[in-house]
């Protein structure tokens, strides 16, 4: 009998490097499926529709909300971001693990909708470094930088809603820590026990 996959959520404060860690994770040899998000944000240079995001108009996104096509969604710095639900459900049903890389409001919604999801909080080595990273990106206006910093302070207080905390001091190390979490989750007594119980019911 096929086991259901595990839903992993990688979240954390703005500018901590979630996107970078997630990309590095999928460049390596990892047994996870990435759920591509939908957004109303305009594509940045080099970003491709259906690869980085499904880029949507506000109206298209709001239709997805109305039709319950999103597992979670949030407004972040003036744009909508959300996780299409069908891909996640189908992939988990096929026994494959899924990873979402989303901001914290969305992660809290996943916690409610999928209490069995494993939530990983990525944190910067220090708040100061967080600031440098956000400002240092240099692609955003001052207002957006301030918005992102204010949001980040609140987000850090949210750490206690998570199952694991991973420090992003080096991308490679952060990836190793996440891989260790993914592996360990498959050995949890409750998961192993549940699969044995199912097996015994069948025979």
For the chain, helix, strand, coil in percent to 5 are 50, 20, 30
Can you list the alpha helix ranges (DSSP code H) found in 16-119? Answer: 18-27, 58-66, 85-93, 104-113
The stretch near ligand 5GP (CB under 6 A) out of 56-64, 97-105, 159-167, 171-179 is 97-105
Exactly one of 4, 20, 26, 41 binds ligand 5GP (CB under 6 A); which one? 41
Give the span between the Cα atoms of 6 and 63, in whole angstroms.
28
Q: Which long-range contacts (CB under 8 A, 24 or more apart) does 46-54 make?
A: 54/84
Tell me how far, at minimum, the Cβ of 37 lies from ligand 5GP, in Å: 3
Exactly one of 17, 32, 33, 76 binds ligand 5GP (CB under 6 A); which one? 76
Tell me how far, at minimum, the Cβ of 116 lies from ligand 5GP, in Å: 19
72 binds ligand 5GP (CB under 6 A): yes
The stretch near ligand 5GP (CB under 6 A) out of 99-107, 128-136, 162-170, 179-187 is 99-107
Tell me how far, at minimum, the Cβ of 82 lies from ligand 5GP, in Å: 5
The stretch near ligand 5GP (CB under 6 A) out of 80-88, 120-128, 131-139, 166-174 is 80-88
The answer for residues whose C-beta is within 8 angstroms of residue 64's C-beta and 6 or more apart is 38, 56, 70, 73, 82, 84
The stretch near ligand 5GP (CB under 6 A) out of 79-87, 149-157, 175-183, 192-200 is 79-87
CB 80 within 8 A of CB 73: yes
Burial class (CB in 10 A: 0-12, 13-18, 19+), 21: buried
Count the residues of the shown chain that bind ligand 5GP, applying the rule CB under 6 A.
15
Q: Which long-range contacts (CB under 8 A, 24 or more apart) does 42-47 make?
A: 44/139
82 binds ligand 5GP (CB under 6 A): yes
37 binds ligand 5GP (CB under 6 A): yes
């Amino acid at each position: 009998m096929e086991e259901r996959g595990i839903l992993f959520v990688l979240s954390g404060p703005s500018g901590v490097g979630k996107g970078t860690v997630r990309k590095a994770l999928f460049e390596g040899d990892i047994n996870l499926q990435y759920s591509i998000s939908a957004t109303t944000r305009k594509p940045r240079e080099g970003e491709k529709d259906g690869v980085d995001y499904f880029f949507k108009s506000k109206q298209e996104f709001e239709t997805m909300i109305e039709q319950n096509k999103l597992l979670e969604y949030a407004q972040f710095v003036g744009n909508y971001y959300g996780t299409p639900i069908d891909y996640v459900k189908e992939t988990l049903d096929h026994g494959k693990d899924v990873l979402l890389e989303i901001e914290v409001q969305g992660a809290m919604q996943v916690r409610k909708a999928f209490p069995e999801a494993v939530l990983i909080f990525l944190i910067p080595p220090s708040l100061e470094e967080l600031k440098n990273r956000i400002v240092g990106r240099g692609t955003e206006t001052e207002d957006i930088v301030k918005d992102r910093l204010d949001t980040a302070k609140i987000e850090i207080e949210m750490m206690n809603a998570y199952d694991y905390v991973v420090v992003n001091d080096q991308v490679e190390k952060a990836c190793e820590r996440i891989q260790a979490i993914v592996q360990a989750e498959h050995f949890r007594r409750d998961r192993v026990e549940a699969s044995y119980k199912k097996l015994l019911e069948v025979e």
